[in-house]
Structure 1
Amino acid sequence: MANILIIDDDEALCDILSRRVKQMGHDHTCAYTLKDGYEKAASGSYDVVFLDVGLPDGNGLDALPRIRGLDNCPEVIIFTGQGDPDGAELAIKSGAWDYIAKPPSLKEIVLPLSRALQYREEKKRSSSKVLIKTEGIVGNSTQLQNALNLLAQAASSDATTLLTGETGTGKELFATAIHANSDRAGKDFVVVDCAALPDTLVESVLFGHEKGAFTGADKAHPGLVKLADGGTLFLDEVGELPLSLQKPFLRVLQERRFRPVGSQKEVTSNFRLVAATNRNLEELAEAKLFRQDLLYRLKTLTIDLPPLRSRVQDIKDLTIFYMGKLCEKYGKGAKGYSPEFLEALAAYEWPGNVRELINALERTLIASAEEPTLFPNHLPTHIRVKLARESLRQSTAGKTKSFQGENPQELPSLKDYREAVVSEAEAKYLEDLMLLTNRDIRAACKISGLSRSRLYHLLQKHGIKGSR
């Protein structure tokens, strides 16, 4: 007997589904709001959760990763009244078992539920906790854990694996971890940066050459593919692999045989392939810039690495881990973190992802010198400027909304309203500016574009403390 949770504001559907679940011999609980549903999911032990997308107090897809991240990790079947392909894709990528459009038939409900319970039972019987080496891969978010589960699958097989994700999400770290946790860990891990392959020597670099095969070939070279024999070949930025080389490489991938430049004989290489890209290979294939048949071979197993902005809860752990390494590298004592420092890190969007975070932490450590505690003003200037601008934007937006719902007769004149908004925005900007520059007037003038006299006037007008 399983335990089923139904989160849907459609009471008629909940009633129908409850009766069907009971007929199947399972217990059930209903919730009609997202808040109540999550509280029930977190406090109970459910095997399957039916989750509506359009709930009165929020979008079910937003709660999906949190529900999947609970200790009992229930399977989630999504209900939606809107046929949204993008929503379906997001649901599946976030770990949903299935995605069903409303109104569902009983068959559409019963079959996914039965299969989810069957999968869950078989998983319990066969599962054994696999410990994997994850050096440098830090975090406990659901998104990262989903990627690590796929990493474990990839490491336990020899399947060609494609790592996708934005720049700086840790694709090479994952590739290294796949190799380190595989049966090939004792052999070489050979990295090929496809974006840096020289146009005139690309075949020689990959497949090797014989002595005298071309001008400058004063000795034979085995090539990177041969060096990966018995180990792992990692093609980084595989979307940059020259189109002219993709067909020959496809044959190598299929046959594990190739002919070095200038040689009459073929050689073999028993390598395992892991590839990575931050580009959309499907779009490249549609534009005839990447071979479709090669793409099919690369996608045997695909791991999509989440951007840092989608796993904000990992930022603190990442900061502690990498700041510790940086302190050791620079011979400095451990640093403390003010709450405002960690809040600033969480508020920034990190377009360069984990790589940008590490670089920012290194610059922060240098800026903090021997000071024991890190504050927002230790962060790189461009990050503080971005945060100050966003803070000002939100403040102004909040002020604009403050009169909504008021009695029209109580509204101020447009002139008074404009002056009030400008004054508040001005004060907020100046406060952020002083915090950002640590009250350095010269730096504040440079960032704001104000003259020194004008800046002093505005600071005095708003009662803000100026230079230190």
Structure 2
Amino acid sequence: MAKILIIDDDVQLCKALSLVVKRMGNEADCAFTLRQGLRLLKGNSFEVVILDISLPDGNGLEFLPQIKDSAGSPEVIILSGSGDPEGAELAIRNGAWSYISKPPTLTKIQLPVQRALDYHEKKRNCGQPVVLKRAGLVGESRLFLKSLELVAQAAATEANVLITGKTGTGKELFARAIHENSRRVHGPFVIVDCAALPENLVESVLLGHEKGAFTGADRRSEGLVRQAHGGTLFLDEVGELPLAMQKAFLRVLQTRRFRPIGGLTEVESNFRLVAATNRNLDELVTVWKFRQDLLFRLRTLCIELPTLRDRQDDIPRLAHYFNESACRALGIKPKMISAEFLEALCEFDWPGNVRELANAIESAITSAGGEPMLAPRHLPLNIRVRLARAPLEEHRQKAVCMRNTAVILDPENIPQLKDFRKTALEDLECCYLEQLMAIAHGDIRTACAQSGLSRARLYALLKHHAIERTVKRAMSDQTADLNREVLDSRV
């Protein structure tokens, strides 16, 4: 019998969902706030958590990582009445099992819960996690470890892998880790930088050519695809691959056979493909700069790497690792790292990600010279300047924002005071009503009680400002329908 936790401030919906869960033969606990839910998670081990987004004391999505990291590592099903596509994407990207719009029907909730339970059971019975060779991959943050789990999955298969992430996040290191932990570890690891391939030579570089095939071909070349036979072919910056070559490479992926330029017979290459890009390939597909069929082939498995800003807990570990590596290369004793140096590293936003951090540490070591300890003054000048400017610019932006909020005047068309006052009050009223309805979760009765407005007046204001509302009465009616559906299913 599995234990399922329902976190939702709608009491009637919680009762209805509890009936569904118990009807399936499981235990159900309810919490009406995030605080209650987190307290229950600390003292119990749940297999599944059904989580609302809009709760009285916070946004459920913000606590999704904490819930997943609780005892039992439960699967999380997000339940929301907002119908927000961005929220659904954020939930799935942060590890939610599924995203269900309110109100859930009996069928809509039963199937995801059962599948989540089945998956959780299989995951628990799969044994000890795989120990990876992770040379150069340093970090223990949640997002980083999630990426390593995907590396383990990829290494256990022969499927094509697409690694995405900003420049400097370590895409090549992750590709090499997949190779080093796969059955092809003893084969070659061939790197192709698609951004550096001359468009007129790209086919020759990849597929090879025979002697005399074109002007300047004074010797035979087998090509990088053939060189990867028995190993892994890593296409870095695959979004830069010319369109003409994309079509030819698609056939190579499908058959693992190709004909070199000027060749009479086809050549075979048994390679495993790993590709990487810092570009949005879906967007490139929409503007006809990347083939959709090739994209489907590339991302049989997809690993999205987090930015360094999203894994700040790893900065101290990375700093010590790069310090030791750089000092070892220089043949000197590793430098000590001051608390102020680490604090400065953690305050910087690192647009260049891990690569920029590594370069900054190396620069600091060089700047320190014979000094035994690294301090903020040893960091590169551009980083020190940005760290010094950041708090001042933030303060200035706040001041400008306050001034702009207080008075918004067009020097060319200054309105009369009465007109300006009317517009400003309209804007403030609209802002107040939007926040009021969000806090009240669309409940008219609650909104009237909190604002002191009559029901008729509130309806009139909402209509005047064209504010969409999700009235809880409708939710309650549909929740009652769910209750009746559960009861009917028992008959």
Q: TM-score range by the shorter chain?
A: 0.7 to 0.9
Give the match for residue 388 of structure 1. Answer: 388
Offset of 1:66 from its aligned partner? 2.7
1:273 match: secondary structure? strand
8 Å contact kept, 1:192–1:235: yes
Give the match for residue 325 of structure 2. Answer: 325
Give the match for residue 112 of structure 1. Answer: 112
User: CA deviation digits over 1:369-403, x for unaligned, max 9?
Assistant: 3333333332222222222222224445778999x
- Cα distance in 2, alignment partners of residues 304 and 94 from structure 1: 12
2:4 match: secondary structure? strand
Give the match for residue 164 of structure 1. Answer: 164
Matched to 1:286, the amino acid is T
Offset of 1:293 from its aligned partner? 1.3
1:126 match: secondary structure? coil
Offset of 1:16 from its aligned partner? 2.9
Change in 2 beyond 3 A, CA 1:5/1:319: farther
- Cα distance in 1, alignment partners of residues 375 and 40 from structure 2: 38
Normalised by the length of structure 1, the TM-score is 0.81
- Cα distance in 1, alignment partners of residues 182 and 96 from structure 2: 28
- Cα distance in 2, alignment partners of residues 189 and 71 from structure 1: 40
Matched to 1:139, the amino acid is G
8 Å contact kept, 2:46–2:71: no
User: CA deviation digits over 1:307-334, x for unaligned, max 9?
Assistant: 1111212222222222221222223333
1:288 match: secondary structure? coil
User: Which segments of 5 or more consecutive residues in structure 1 lack a partner in the other structure?
Assistant: 403-468
Give the match for residue 176 of structure 2. Answer: 176
Change in 2 beyond 3 A, CA 1:196/1:399: closer
- Cα distance in 1, alignment partners of residues 39 and 145 from structure 2: 22
- Cα distance in 1, alignment partners of residues 346 and 155 from structure 2: 32
1:82 match: secondary structure? coil
- Cα distance in 2, alignment partners of residues 179 and 253 from structure 1: 18
8 Å contact kept, 1:68–1:142: no
Give the match for residue 53 of structure 2. Answer: 53
The aligned runs of 1:143-292 (5 Å cut-off) are 143-292=143-292
- Cα distance in 2, alignment partners of residues 71 and 141 from structure 1: 17
Change in 2 beyond 3 A, CA 1:178/1:48: same
The aligned runs of 1:290-439 (5 Å cut-off) are 290-395=290-395
What is the number of residues matched between the two proteins?
Answer: 403
- Cα distance in 2, alignment partners of residues 339 and 96 from structure 1: 37
2:216 match: secondary structure? coil
Matched to 1:322, the amino acid is F
- Cα distance in 1, alignment partners of residues 29 and 383 from structure 2: 46
Q: Relative contact order: is structure 1 or structure 2 higher (C-alpha 8 Å, sep ≥ 6)?
A: 2
8 Å contact kept, 1:184–1:230: yes
Q: Does 2:16 align with 1:16?
A: yes
Offset of 1:349 from its aligned partner? 1.6
User: CA deviation digits over 1:191-247, x for unaligned, max 9?
Assistant: 000111122221111111112222322221111011001111111101111111111
Give the match for residue 101 of structure 2. Answer: 101
User: CA deviation digits over 1:351-378, x for unaligned, max 9?
Assistant: 1111111111111222223333333332
Give the match for residue 449 of structure 1. Answer: none
- Cα distance in 2, alignment partners of residues 345 and 238 from structure 1: 32
Offset of 1:268 from its aligned partner? 0.7
Matched to 1:300, the amino acid is T
User: CA deviation digits over 1:394-427, x for unaligned, max 9?
Assistant: 445778999xxxxxxxxxxxxxxxxxxxxxxxxx
Matched to 2:360, the amino acid is A
- Cα distance in 2, alignment partners of residues 304 and 318 from structure 1: 20
Change in 2 beyond 3 A, CA 1:264/1:78: same
8 Å contact kept, 2:41–2:71: no
Give me the identity figure in percent.
Answer: 57
2:214 match: secondary structure? coil
Q: Which moved more, 1:110-119 or 1:270-279?
A: 110-119
CA-based RMSD? 2.3
Offset of 1:35 from its aligned partner? 4.0
8 Å contact kept, 1:156–1:182: yes
